[in-house]
Amino acid sequence: MLRATTRFSNNAVVPSGATALLYNGVMSLPKIIAIVGPTGSSKSALALAVARRFNGELISADSRQLYKGLDIGSAKDKGSWIMIHGEAHYLVDGVREHLVDVLEPGKEWSVSEYQRRAFEVIDDIIVRAKIPIIVGGTGLYVQAIIENLSFPNVAPNPELRTRLEQRSLQDLMATYAACDPVGAMSIDENNRRRLIRAIEVCWIARRPFSEMQTKGPRKYDVLQVAFDVPREALYMRLDGRVLQMMKDGLVNEVRGLLDKGVDTRSNAMSGIGYREVVQHLQGEIDEMTMIALIQNNTRNLAKRQLTWFKRDPSVHWIKSEEEGLRLISRHCDPSLREGRGKQPHPSSR
């Protein structure tokens, strides 16, 4: 392996501290894997299988799994913190996972802050001669890494923000969707602060926010893989998962967070599963309504995620874990890349 300080002919750059490969006389970018797609599509199981087979480490691309204490409702991989050589590692079945269980519920990261930390983690994994495996369904997080996005520098307008603060979440979402339909597919519709900022940028710049997220030189050679799960089967799986979350103690998890002083208006508590339980605990809805709302909102989230990832022609849609492992093997081993067949884009169901 050679240290790379060269800009490639395709306008890509090797990240600082990372390494480039020399194959048949051609420098190539560090290879990473991104396992993406809608919630409940078995991303984590495939990611763990890939990590074990190819000596990899996971990087979570899930805006909810960042938070400490939000375990059941975020479907966080069950793991534990272990000290290794004086450093805390989050291990899931012996595999290290990064950017999970790291943020206090009262705090929040911007997409650019997530991107910065993800780049640091990925470059460190590469330097240690391991394969970085991004896994998650927060589309803008994944895109920020793969396309090395830069975000618009538009000064805040306090007067405009004050006016927007008076609007409901539904009104904010509708307003943003009207001025930036593409951006609306990936934004967290329950994140008031992020919605207001997106609308603010659109109105001040008179352009869709998503169009101002400019692409930079690519830092990595990325293979994106997603499970092609029939939509009805996925929805049934998600409904069942919500019922299992109830059995696992989601209501008690939320009650415990509230008892610790977590603000119900915080971004952490605006996530699906958490805001509905808060409504239930505050006496606004009964238990059956709470469960039905979580199921419906989770299905809607999956639908938005499918729409987002189906827009990207570079995503390889697979039917099985074995198919995914074969694709990833060819990606990781340059000698097997010739003849790699890209899977067709699944039709909408």
Q: What's the confidence (pLDDT) of residue 53?
A: 95
pLDDT in tens, the chain (349 residues): 333 334 444 445 544 445 455 444 456 899 999 999 999 999 999 999 999 999 999 999 999 999 999 999 999 999 999 998 899 999 999 999 999 999 999 898 888 999 999 999 999 999 999 999 999 999 999 999 999 999 887 888 889 999 998 999 889 999 999 999 988 887 878 778 889 989 999 999 899 988 888 899 999 999 999 999 999 999 999 999 999 999 999 999 999 999 999 999 888 998 999 999 999 999 999 999 999 999 999 999 999 999 999 999 999 999 999 999 999 999 988 654 443 344 444 444 4
Q: What's the confidence (pLDDT) of residue 38?
A: 96
Sign of CA dihedral 320, 326, 327, 332: positive
Q: What's the confidence (pLDDT) of residue 26?
A: 54
CA 63 to chain centre: 6
Residue type (1 letter), 290: M
What is the spatial distance between Cα 310 and Cα 181, in angstroms, rounded to a whole number? 15
Q: Which residues contact 154 (CB under 8 A, 6 or more apart)?
A: 200, 201, 204, 205, 212
Asked if 67 and 100 count as a contact pair (C-beta separation under 8 A), the reply is: no
Q: What's the confidence (pLDDT) of residue 348?
A: 43
State the DSSP string of 3-29. Answer: E--PBPTTS-BPPTT-EEEEETTEEEP
Domains of the chain, first to last: 2-151+213-333 (3.40.50.300), 152-212 (1.10.20.140)
What is the spatial distance between Cα 305 and Cα 299, in angstroms, rounded to a whole number? 10
Q: What's the confidence (pLDDT) of residue 186?
A: 78
Burial (Cβ within 10 Å: 0-12, 13-18, ≥19) of residue 165: exposed
